[in-house]
Structure 1
Amino acid sequence: MTGSSFLDLPDALPQFVEGNRSRVIAAGLDPYEYERVTAGLASLYAWLPAFRAVGAEYRRTARRYAAGGHGVSAGEAYRSAARWFHCATFLPHPDHAATVAAAGAADDAMRQAFALLDPGALRIEGEGFVGWLRRPAGVERPAVVVVVPGLNSGKESSTRSTTRCCGAGSRRSRSTGRGRARWSAPRRRPNTTPWSAAPSTRWRHTPTSTRRRVSA
């Protein structure tokens, strides 16, 4: 097994597909589309390019909608593109540059989605993280919910749950932290920010006008 990868193991593909099913659905992918795309994979090496291709198709769709003046449909398509690009990075693919490109595409697609669907969304970036702050409409002093994804996840994966937070009248801030390709690539060095420091670091970079003391 010297020099080989788990990607080369005979049963790696079906196990990876099944193991990530609930994760991609939670991130917002259509389960039937996930079945269709993964059914066509010849090996795990094809995961990243296949998911990037679907993301790119949604991005093209979004641009057509935008050109036709259909802002909501364009925003939804951009959001779908972001989710597929993001899920492409789940696999520790040996082509790191391609993983970084997919993460960057996810970040950019979500930015365009928010520009159309939630123009008040505010991008926040600091040492060790990058994220979005969204504020519910018509709520003067909402509670603040900070969402810090797990070790192998990012801000694009929590859009559905955090949208529900906004619907319930909470400000929601979600981030991408250490270990994610979107953040590690431009830095070209390991991100050593501890996860325990993420909420306080994020809070320091939140505009003063949005802060509110929340008591239990």
Structure 2
Amino acid sequence: MEKKTTYDRRRNRSFTNGIQDGVYRGSAFGNPGLLDLSEEESVLEMIGKYFLQLTSPGRGTSSARRGSIESCDERDNSPVAQMDAGVEQEQRVLQQAVTRHIELCLTEAKASTLLCQVLLLPHHMTARVGQDVVRSSADEPCGLRGASIKVYVEGKEGLKPVGSFSIDPSVTPTFELSVILKADKSYSWPALKHIFESDKVLKLRPEYRLVKRKLYSSASPVIHDFY
């Protein structure tokens, strides 16, 4: 396998105290990494342009007003601005969808595959994985909609499949993306020993791996490790 550049990140390794379906998480994931210009800033900028044209020398009142209206219309209907906003919104929606699917796979696999009662996740881990999955799909013909995503947990007994999903089942997959999460094999939480058996608590490490295999190419799979 060809191994691509490893991405080294500083991870927040704190864990939440809350429990939802036996899965411990950080605070609810939001829309990280994508910021939009606020409505207030847009309005102030538009008003500033209007008064600048209104007070420009050599312009009549009526022509200045016509110019200000044309400027507003041009800004609001700019194809580039609308395209950028649409792409950002789509990226956020896709990232949230991937995050929800991964959490659902882990929740459903607790009793059947992972054989645990409590699953501990690093802070915001699933949101980070979702973001990296979306980024890894950016250069594909159909983007993330052409992905067949499989989720695994690597433990003492090797890889365990915990679920699979597609964001858009109507699209024929063009590539396969394996998400490999890693169990902390040496972990034990004394605070839970009085509630659960020690072998019923499983903690995942912050590190994970993405393996991308193009279904339309004979090239070797691409491996990305995240820390």
Of Structure 1 and Structure 2, the greater strand share is in: 2
Structure with bigger helix share is: 1
Which protein shows a greater Rg?
2
Structure with bigger RCO (C-alpha 8 Å, 6+ apart): 2
Query: So what's the TM-score if we normalise by structure 2?
Result: 0.26
Question: What TM-score, normalized to structure 1?
Answer: 0.27
